[in-house]
Amino acid sequence: MATVYFVIAALALAGAGALLWIDRNRSQEVHHQRAVWGEKHSFKFRETDSKLRTVFHRAGMDAPDHVRVRDVAYGLYEDAEAVVFDLEGTSTVVAVRRPSASSVHVDLRHEDVLAPAEEDVDLLGAMGSRVMFASNLDAARRICDRRMVTLATETPAFVEILWNEGNWALGAMPVTTDDDQLDLALDTVRRFADLLRVLPPAVVPQDAPDPRDPHGPTNEELADEKTESLRDKERRRRMQERQARQAMLDDDEPPRPVSRPSLLDATPRPPADATHRPPADATHRPPAEPPRPPVDRPRPQGEPPVMEPRRPARPVRDRPAPPDLPPLRDPRDR
């Protein structure tokens, strides 16, 4: 009985080894095929890239965290950055960078695929065999023209989902290594990205408008920084740099002794040639005139003589008598 168990265990071990060998060969074959396909488009190849899971989260990228990104081919496709990679055992994703991001999310998927799991999108309508969802129905109607209908009709069924996320337009399909399918999917996603140009761009928060500008926008989020504000900032920046350099120079120089002014410097001094020439007032001063005697003016006859007023005499005040005090005695006679 023990021999039977031993044989079964050996067969199971051999089967596990065979499966690992087959899976390894298949993985190497897939890696080799993706690298060869990327070389046709001048793409670079990378076995894995964990950053892509942090950039894309919606639609076809809504997978468990343990699913890794494998077989990444990236480069430029028609002057736009493109990336092709596999979600291990789940799907193949094609991404093409757009010129600008948009806050409106559009999801165009095949009618046989389940509705999106995101709650911020609503059903817009059907286009042939595909259904469109959008986060802003009024803005999404701008792209629903003949070109979008043609794209939805001509897109092959294996490209299950087309959506936009941030600066990228993406497409998802089952895991494939077929060169024709990859080429067709890459061209479809590029056309989808071109049709999304009419979506409103994402609003980037900016500084408040200058209240001194009468032509400035009333909406703060649409306001650009004014020229005067830029000049003021540049002027303040230069002043701060100048003050910082001056402070550094002051710190490096040793303290200088404080010089006090001398008292001799503050004393006024006569000019150098003042002792050799007399003052100007002494040379040009006229001689003093003697006092003139009073002149009696003639008075007309009959007019009494003018009497000068006399000052009233001051009254003489009687001084009080001194107090009657006892005579002073010598304290030694006591």
Q: What is the pLDDT of residues 287-309, one digit of tens each?
A: 666 666 665 566 666 666 656 56
The whole-number average pLDDT for the span 151-169 is 92
Q: Which residue has the tokens 């060969």?
A: 25
pLDDT of the residue at 170 = 94
Greater confidence, 213 or 190? 190
Q: pLDDT at residue 89 above 80?
A: yes
What are the angstrom distances between the C-alpha of 1 and each of 6, 8, 13, 131, 208?
Answer: 9, 11, 19, 62, 85
Greater confidence, 45 or 3? 45
Greater confidence, 169 or 286? 169
DSSP state of 165: E
Alpha helices for the chain (secondary structure H): 2-40, 52-55, 137-140, 146-154, 179-195, 227-252, 263-266, 280-284
- 80-87, strands of its sheet edge to edge: 44-48, 69-77, 80-87, 91-97, 168-173, 161-165, 106-110, 130-134, 122-127
The helix or strand, by DSSP H or E, that contains position 330, with its residue range, turns out to be none
DSSP state of 215: T
**CB neighbours of residue 255 within 10 Å:** 6
Please list the residues that pair with 109 across neighbouring strands. 131, 161
What are the angstrom distances between the C-alpha of 323 and each of 214, 246, 318, 320?
Answer: 97, 84, 15, 9
pLDDT of the residue at 219 = 43
User: Sorting pLDDT into bands at 50, 70 and 90, what band is 182?
Assistant: very high
Q: pLDDT at residue 40 above 70?
A: yes
Q: pLDDT at residue 98 above 80?
A: yes
Q: pLDDT at residue 265 above 70?
A: no
44-48 and 69-77 strand pairing = antiparallel
Per-position DSSP letters for 240-309, written without gaps between them? HHHHHHHHHHHHHSPPPPPPPPPHHHHS----TTTTTS--HHHHHPPPPPPPPPP-PPP--TTPPPPPPP
pLDDT tens by residue, 223-240: 444 455 556 777 888 888
Please list the residues that pair with 325 across neighbouring strands. none
pLDDT of the residue at 93 = 93
Per the CB < 8 A criterion, the answer to whether 126 and 223 are in contact is no
User: Sorting pLDDT into bands at 50, 70 and 90, what band is 130?
Assistant: very high
The whole-number average pLDDT for the span 54-62 is 88
DSSP state of 59: G
User: Sorting pLDDT into bands at 50, 70 and 90, what band is 177?
Assistant: confident
The whole-model pTM stands at 0.54
Of 30-39, 43-52, 311-320, which gets the smallest average pLDDT?
Answer: 311-320
> For residue 38, what are its two tokens?
């990327």
